[in-house]
Amino acid sequence: MTLCISTRLPAAAMVRVMPRLLIADDHPLFRAALRQAASEHLDDCSVREACDLQGVLDALATDPDIDLVLLDLHMPGSQGLSGLAALRGQYPAVAVLVVSAHDEPRVVRRVLDHGAAGFIPKSANPSEISEAVHAVLNCGNWLPSALARSVAALPSHPADADLAARLARLTEQQYRVLALLGEGLLNKQIADRLGIQERTVKAHATAIFEKLGVRNRTQAGVLLHMLDLGEPGAGSSPMSA
């Protein structure tokens, strides 16, 4: 569960809390660069790594004390905003810093609307990475100065805010089922993948459709498609499909 590093304990306690980071990127060299930047500019920290979205979710499930995830938008299991949405839906107490080469202001605006605490371009230097990590660990937000003004000038898109709110209603298992529905898997295949009974999948699907305000898996798939990095809300409305 994410807590402000500077306020976890009273100053009088004089106990130093070691921040716990998770770096999620499918490129080993970039993970190493992020690890070095974080380690060199924090007095002490614990850093774990993951190369795909499932690895991120597994790490968070086994280590609930992770404070911050540095998340690449594009890696196995995650495309567009789907990985960010999964983390915010399943682990809302963990702070997320998105790290991406997609640094267009519109993309950054959408990242923030889906609950990220900040955005680090992949062109950022080590001191900027350190500044971003420090800001978020102290319960702040961070954007590079070159992007902050243009992102602030963009309004939040109602479709993103609405989608983020709908997805936040799902339980962890419901989000897993939804993601597999989005891949086109049948109920039996989802049951086999998750190690649960097919009737349990059907019950989850019914609850998912109700919480998302859709009627079937096709409409749920349209909602998931809105997490792509195209224009938010592009395509058919899930309620009119």
Specify which residues 47 forms β-bridges with: 21
The span from the CA of 80 to the CA of 129, in Å, is: 22
Residue 232 has pLDDT above 70, yes or no: no
Residue 117 has pLDDT above 80, yes or no: yes
Mean pLDDT of 203-219: 94
Mean pLDDT of 156-184: 86
Measure Cα distances from 101 to 49, 105, 123, 174, 217 in Å: 19, 12, 7, 30, 32
Residue 107 has pLDDT above 50, yes or no: yes
Angle, nearest 10°, between helix axes 53-62 and 82-90? 10
Mean pLDDT of 34-38: 86
Q: What is the pTM of this model?
A: 0.79
User: What mean pLDDT value characterizes the chain?
Assistant: 85
Mean pLDDT of 191-215: 96
Structure tokens at 232: 């938010």
Residue 8 has pLDDT above 60, yes or no: no
Hunting for tokens 């930047």 — which residue is that? 37
Domains along the chain with CATH numbers? 5-152 (3.40.50.2300), 158-225 (1.10.10.10)
Structure tokens at 102: 């997609």
Q: Which amino acid makes up residue 164?
A: A
Residue 61 has pLDDT above 70, yes or no: yes
- pLDDT number for residue 86: 86
Percent of the chain with pLDDT over 70: 87
- pLDDT number for residue 201: 97
- pLDDT number for residue 4: 53
The span from the CA of 36 to the CA of 53, in Å, is: 22
Mean pLDDT of 127-152: 92
Q: Check if the beta carbon of residue 213 is closer than 8 Å to that of residue 140.
A: no
Q: How many CA atoms lie within 13 A of 202 on its CB side?
A: 4
64 pLDDT band (50/70/90 cuts)? confident
212 or 89: which leads in pLDDT: 212
